[in-house]
Chains A and B, each alone.
Chain A
Amino acid sequence: MTPLLEQFLSESREFSQGIGEKLMQMEDAPSDQGLINELFRLVHTLKGNSGLFTFPEMTRVLHAGEDLLGLVRNGQIAYSRELADCLLDAIDFVMVLCADIEATEQIDASRAQDSARMAESLRALMPAAQTARSVSAANSSKPATITQDAHSAELPPLAELPKATRIEALHQCHQGETLHWICYTPASDCFFQGDDPLFSARQTPGLLWGSAKPTEPLPPLAELDTYRCVLEFHLLSAAPREELDEHFRYVPDQVRIVQVNPGWLSLSEDSSEDSSAVSAQPVPAVPEGAAGEANLISAAPLKAAAKASIEDCAEQVAALESILSAQRQILMLDDRPDWGVGRLKAAGSVLLNLANSAGDRVAASEVEAALAECLATGQNSMLLLWLEASKEHLIASCVAQPGPSAYPASNPAAGPSKEPKEGAAEAEASLAKPAADEGIKFGRRAEDHVTGPRSLKVDQAKIDRLMNLIGELVVSKNALPYLAQRAETHYGVRELSREIKGEYSVINRIADEMQDAIMQVRMMAVSFVFQRFPRLVRDISRKLGKDVQLVLEGEQTEADKNIIESLADPLIHIVRNSLDHGLETPEVRRACGKRETGTLTIRAAQEADRVVIEITDDGKGIDPAVIKRKAYEKGLIDEAALERIDDREAVNLIFAAGLSTSEVVSDLSGRGVGMDVVRSAVQKINGTVVIESKLGTGTTIRISLPLSMAVTQVMIVESDGQLFGVPMDNVVETVRVPRSDLRAIKQSLTVVLRGRIVPLKALNTLLGISASPRVNSDDELAVLLVQAGGEVLGLLVDGFKETIGLIQKPLAGFLSGLSAYSGSALMGDGSVLMILNIREIV
């Protein structure tokens, strides 16, 4: 006995015992869903096990049991005493079969009838519609039982036997042989099971005669369904009953076997004449069963031999087709579950491996590129397109690939390291597989062979270096306008100045594109940050005893790597806050009339040149009154503000330093660390964060970030002879204001612009420079309107210069302590421009 069979028997006994116990327990708890599920699983598993061997008698009974329990599980039929009895009988029968197998390693053919009867009694407990679906036999109008008792069955239509056959049969009966009449009615869908009833009929042991008849009137040719079996077979056999049972063991419910009573064969007319004919001419039309089988056997080996050689190949093609079709279905799924990215990656790795299997490196790199694109765009179309386009040639190369024995181990003509050369590719193709044969099969150009994978992993340091270089290039490029100016003013060569400017515009364009290209390389999908949330949310919500559904949207939205990376901590903080303070426990939610499961949605989207991320929960929201009171208590706002600020502003006070809303410092949201940390982290990458909340219905936090932090657009302003950069994000507009328009209100300088009072501050004052702002010849002051923290104010400067894109470098060393500046940048003339941190200075 093989170990597998031993394992099967021991597991079968264990499961049978378990099924028995569960059935007993169900007597006391007939509606225990857990018990029913477990029972179903045991029977299901046992059935699956039996299917690994050729034990159709066992499988049939267990299948019926599984179907029955499936109906109980779905509540379609109720558990009953009768049902339990029937199942217990079936399990006893399975134990008997196990004993058979233990003794002889097979099941006695005589068990087929018991098995069919057992299955039928199980199916008898199901509603009629279910039985019709499950029982494959199409002859539902006829009794499906196998009966050995000829008297109870209708008399077989022996009259259809040709006279000569009938005489021969009678002759054999008289010599003491037992004949059987078999009526075989295949299931109408049997072709789909791979059955060929004519073949089974022809192979019937001891066959004396057989005929095929339609079970129903045949339709007109045009209406014939070729895949539906409409024939039944009548067979006369001289083989013993056991042999016939064995032969039809897979279809016992489709055959009726009757022992032939010699009396039925007796001829009512012309008996003497025909009796004499027997000895005179031995039935020429009907050959003996053995001869018939011999004929078949002679054909069989031919078929088998041909089959063996192509079997592996056919199996592989079939597998490949099924895998390809599965990937197609997977890629066409239109749901967007939170495991969608993983699912897409899996499909990608399957397709990659199919390409590798075909030995096709080009195809493999195409898959990698398509997958990268799919992951980046969130659309499956690239992989789907690749699949549609490459299906045929993958299958073709699967057929054409040599088997293991044909694989050339070493090749004198083309060493493994030798790249196929252009033009020579075809010549080498027959020798150097598989690398070279792509050229012929797929009609690719030869130079495609040397193409590496289309996506590469690059060390970040190399990208950073490129980034620095392009930064330097931009700076050097900016020296050209100075040069042009000098050529004109210093050397007086106007022509040269113009030419330099012309060249500059070309270099400028290329540098811009280059910068853009490098930034594209640095782009990363927010899924990098999002992917950790499913686990995080599950763990935290479980810990807090809350039921939370996480919805992620726009995971493929891209932004610069630095932005994405610095997004992680603030986002985690916000999500923890939502779970901890926002979403309620199921009990509270129920009491409020909300769905017990709370929803936390994290959505990313690109809006113009910004990435916007929204974290929304449908929790209890923030009470503006509470925030206001706390802010006042902590001295963050004065009494006047307490009256003045509206709810929206109040809620946004949550970002103020030192305000922690929750009374309890929970273990999750951190110790006293509030949302101010989030705000400063977001501001550090030039982002903004706002909050909207409705008491009782939920909170939305909206973070807006630049797509890229690499290049900052700054406006250059002059003050006291020095140049400063102001980020364009802060600049609202530039105006010139007559000095006479300035008004002093409560010691502070203001100006009315478009009906609005704008406070003014001199940049010199803010930076501690004693000089006062200069006016131009028209006695006008230069005012730079800037936005900081939601307020607009005017900066008095000496003059405006151009706006440029530059790469900001953070201040290093002792300069890093200067909060008035967010960074510095090298200018084209070699000077250093300090970039003002508007938020800090105003």
Chain B
Amino acid sequence: MKRGLVVKRILIVDDAATVRMYHRGILESAGYTVDEALNGIEALEKALETPFDLLLVDINMPRLDGFGFLKELRRQPMPQPPAIMVSTEAEARDEVAAYRAGASCYLLKPVRPSQLLAHARLMLGEANK
């Protein structure tokens, strides 16, 4: 697979270790570098310290949820990476709430591996490479 010299970095934000491991497995198998955060606060700290190219964000988390995290991140004067919000809520209003908060797209759990990779590649600008 042809990719630029710089390996893209993805941050998985989810309180469930199983989900983190599942997503990590899919993304690492495609050659991405993955970091994890267990809640919004931790995610914010990591994202402010080093920029990520893509975020994979759960909604329901302790301390600071996915919406709160994205809003705060979008307030920061820095390059804004795309964010995939993963949710179990299929209602349209939940999807709109995610967009309002700053999500770039909205996927329903469980996310299929090929579906996740297709979204990640497109949003990282390297589909077809």
Interface set of A (CB-CB < 8 Å, partner B): 3-4, 7-8, 11-12, 38, 40-41, 44-45, 47-49, 51-52, 311-312, 315-316, 318-320, 322-323, 326-327, 329-330, 333, 335, 337-343, 345-350, 352-359, 398, 401-404, 407, 434, 531-532, 534-535
Chain B residue numbers with a CB within 8 Å of A312 are 114, 118
Provided the pairs A354-B122, A407-B2 are in contact, do residues A359 and B110 lie with their beta carbons within 8 angstroms? no
Provided the pairs A48-B88, A318-B118, A337-B100 are in contact, do residues A434 and B110 lie with their beta carbons within 8 angstroms? no
Q: Is the CB of A357 within 8 A of B122?
A: yes
Q: Is the CB of A326 within 8 A of B122?
A: no
Q: Please, how many angstroms separate the alpha-carbon atoms of A329 and B19 in the complex?
A: 27
Chain A residue numbers with a CB within 8 Å of B17 are 7, 11
The answer, among B99, B124, B125, for a CB contact under 8 Å with A333, is: B99
Chain A residue numbers with a CB within 8 Å of B100 are 333, 335, 337
Q: Please, how many angstroms separate the alpha-carbon atoms of A40 and B61 in the complex?
A: 11
Provided the pairs A45-B15, A359-B128 are in contact, do residues A329 and B96 lie with their beta carbons within 8 angstroms? yes
Name the distance in Å between A396's Cβ and chain B's nearest Cβ: 13
Q: Is the CB of B109 within 8 A of A51?
A: yes
Q: Is the CB of A357 within 8 A of B127?
A: yes
Q: Is the CB of A8 within 8 A of B18?
A: yes
Q: Please, how many angstroms separate the alpha-carbon atoms of A348 and B77 in the complex?
A: 15
Q: Please, how many angstroms separate the alpha-carbon atoms of A589 and B70 in the complex?
A: 31
Name the distance in Å between B11's Cβ and chain A's nearest Cβ: 14
Name the distance in Å between A556's Cβ and chain B's nearest Cβ: 15
Q: Write the B43-75 contact mask toward A (1 if CB under 8 angstroms, else 0).
A: 000000000000000001110000000111111
* B80 CB within 8 Å of chain A: yes
Provided the pairs A49-B16, A359-B128 are in contact, do residues A319 and B118 lie with their beta carbons within 8 angstroms? yes
User: How many A-B contacts if CB must be within 8 Å?
Assistant: 165
CB-nearest residue of chain B to A311 = B114
**Which residues in window 65-117 of B have CB below 8 A to A?**
70-77, 79-83, 88, 95-96, 99-100, 102-106, 109-110, 114-115
* B119 CB within 8 Å of chain A: yes
Q: Is the CB of A346 within 8 A of B127?
A: no
Name the distance in Å between B78's Cβ and chain A's nearest Cβ: 8
Chain A residue numbers with a CB within 8 Å of B127 are 316, 320, 357, 398, 401
* B123 CB within 8 Å of chain A: yes
Contact sample, A vs B, 29 pairs, CB 8 Å cutoff: A7-B17, A41-B15, A41-B60, A48-B16, A52-B109, A312-B118, A316-B121, A318-B115, A322-B105, A323-B123, A326-B99, A326-B106, A330-B104, A333-B99, A337-B71, A339-B70, A339-B75, A342-B74, A342-B75, A346-B80, A350-B82, A353-B122, A353-B123, A354-B122, A354-B125, A356-B126, A357-B121, A404-B129, A535-B75
Chain B residue numbers with a CB within 8 Å of A350 are 82, 104-105, 123
Provided the pairs A342-B74, A404-B2, A534-B75 are in contact, do residues A52 and B102 lie with their beta carbons within 8 angstroms? no
Q: Please, how many angstroms separate the alpha-carbon atoms of A36 and B99 in the complex?
A: 27
CB-nearest residue of chain A to B104 = A350
Q: Please, how many angstroms separate the alpha-carbon atoms of A535 and B110 in the complex?
A: 35
CB-nearest residue of chain A to B78 = A342
By size class, the interface of chain B is 35 or more
* B5 CB within 8 Å of chain A: no
Interface set of B (CB-CB < 8 Å, partner A): 1-2, 15-19, 21-22, 25, 60-62, 70-77, 79-83, 88, 95-96, 99-100, 102-106, 109-110, 114-115, 118-119, 121-129
Chain B residue numbers with a CB within 8 Å of A342 are 73-76, 80, 102
Q: Please, how many angstroms separate the alpha-carbon atoms of A726 and B99 in the complex?
A: 54
Name the distance in Å between B82's Cβ and chain A's nearest Cβ: 5
Name the distance in Å between B67's Cβ and chain A's nearest Cβ: 11
Chain B residue numbers with a CB within 8 Å of A45 are 15-16, 19, 60
Apart from A4-B21, A349-B79, A356-B126, 15 more pairs, CB < 8 Å: A41-B61, A41-B62, A49-B18, A52-B18, A52-B110, A318-B118, A327-B104, A339-B75, A346-B81, A346-B83, A349-B82, A350-B104, A354-B122, A357-B126, A531-B75
Name the distance in Å between B32's Cβ and chain A's nearest Cβ: 14
Q: Please, how many angstroms separate the alpha-carbon atoms of A352 and B72 in the complex?
A: 23
Q: Please, how many angstroms separate the alpha-carbon atoms of A339 and B109 in the complex?
A: 26
Q: Please, how many angstroms separate the alpha-carbon atoms of A323 and B127 in the complex?
A: 13
Q: Please, how many angstroms separate the alpha-carbon atoms of A322 and B88 in the complex?
A: 17
Q: Please, how many angstroms separate the alpha-carbon atoms of A319 and B17 in the complex?
A: 26
Q: Is the CB of A52 within 8 A of B19?
A: yes
CB-nearest residue of chain A to B99 = A330
CB-nearest residue of chain A to B15 = A45
Q: Is the CB of A323 within 8 A of B114?
A: no
Q: Is the CB of B1 within 8 A of A339?
A: no
Provided the pairs A48-B110, A357-B122 are in contact, do residues A343 and B18 lie with their beta carbons within 8 angstroms? no
CB-nearest residue of chain A to B126 = A357
CB-nearest residue of chain B to A3 = B21
Q: Is the CB of B122 within 8 A of A323?
A: yes
Q: Please, how many angstroms separate the alpha-carbon atoms of A94 and B96 in the complex?
A: 33
Name the distance in Å between B41's Cβ and chain A's nearest Cβ: 14
Chain A residue numbers with a CB within 8 Å of B125 are 352-357
Q: Is the CB of A345 within 8 A of B79?
A: yes
The answer, among B15, B77, B105, B118, for a CB contact under 8 Å with A532, is: B77
Q: Please, how many angstroms separate the alpha-carbon atoms of A335 and B102 in the complex?
A: 12
CB-nearest residue of chain A to B55 = A346
Name the distance in Å between B44's Cβ and chain A's nearest Cβ: 12
Q: Is the CB of B18 within 8 A of A346?
A: no
The answer, among B62, B82, B88, for a CB contact under 8 Å with A353, is: B82
Q: Is the CB of B128 within 8 A of A398?
A: yes
Q: Please, how many angstroms separate the alpha-carbon atoms of A562 and B72 in the complex?
A: 29
CB-nearest residue of chain A to B17 = A11
Chain B residue numbers with a CB within 8 Å of A322 are 105, 119
Chain A residue numbers with a CB within 8 Å of B118 are 312, 315-316, 318-320
Q: Is the CB of B123 within 8 A of A315?
A: no
Chain A residue numbers with a CB within 8 Å of B114 are 311-312, 315
Name the distance in Å between B18's Cβ and chain A's nearest Cβ: 4
The answer, among A4, A337, A340, A404, for a CB contact under 8 Å with B1, is: A404
Q: Please, how many angstroms separate the alpha-carbon atoms of A145 and B12 in the complex?
A: 41
Name the distance in Å between B29's Cβ and chain A's nearest Cβ: 12
CB-nearest residue of chain A to B107 = A322
Q: Please, how many angstroms separate the alpha-carbon atoms of A343 and B85 in the complex?
A: 14
Name the distance in Å between B120's Cβ and chain A's nearest Cβ: 9
Q: Is the CB of A531 within 8 A of B106?
A: no
Chain B residue numbers with a CB within 8 Å of A353 are 82, 122-126
CB-nearest residue of chain B to A63 = B88
Chain B residue numbers with a CB within 8 Å of A48 are 16, 19, 88, 109-110
- The 8 A-B residue pairs with the shortest CB-CB distance, nearest first, are A342-B74, A353-B125, A356-B125, A339-B74, A319-B118, A401-B128, A345-B80, A357-B127
CB-nearest residue of chain B to A397 = B128
Chain A residue numbers with a CB within 8 Å of B122 are 316, 319-320, 323, 353-354, 357
Chain A residue numbers with a CB within 8 Å of B96 are 329, 333
Q: Is the CB of A329 within 8 A of B99?
A: yes
Chain B residue numbers with a CB within 8 Å of A8 are 18
Chain B residue numbers with a CB within 8 Å of A357 are 121-122, 125-129
Chain B residue numbers with a CB within 8 Å of A329 are 95-96, 99
CB-nearest residue of chain B to A532 = B77
Name the distance in Å between B28's Cβ and chain A's nearest Cβ: 12
Chain B residue numbers with a CB within 8 Å of A40 are 60
Chain A residue numbers with a CB within 8 Å of B121 are 316, 357
The answer, among B22, B80, B82, B119, for a CB contact under 8 Å with A52, is: B22
Q: Is the CB of B88 within 8 A of A326?
A: no
Q: Please, how many angstroms separate the alpha-carbon atoms of A434 and B125 in the complex?
A: 14
Q: Is the CB of A319 within 8 A of B115?
A: yes
Q: Please, how many angstroms separate the alpha-carbon atoms of A80 and B96 in the complex?
A: 34
Chain A residue numbers with a CB within 8 Å of B21 are 3-4, 7
Q: Please, how many angstroms separate the alpha-carbon atoms of A60 and B127 in the complex?
A: 36
Q: Please, how many angstroms separate the alpha-carbon atoms of A233 and B88 in the complex?
A: 31
Chain A residue numbers with a CB within 8 Å of B126 are 353, 356-357
Chain B residue numbers with a CB within 8 Å of A434 are 128
Of B19, B61, B110, B128, most buried by chain A (CB within 10 Å of CB) is B128
Q: Please, how many angstroms separate the alpha-carbon atoms of A49 and B72 in the complex?
A: 27
CB-nearest residue of chain B to A357 = B127
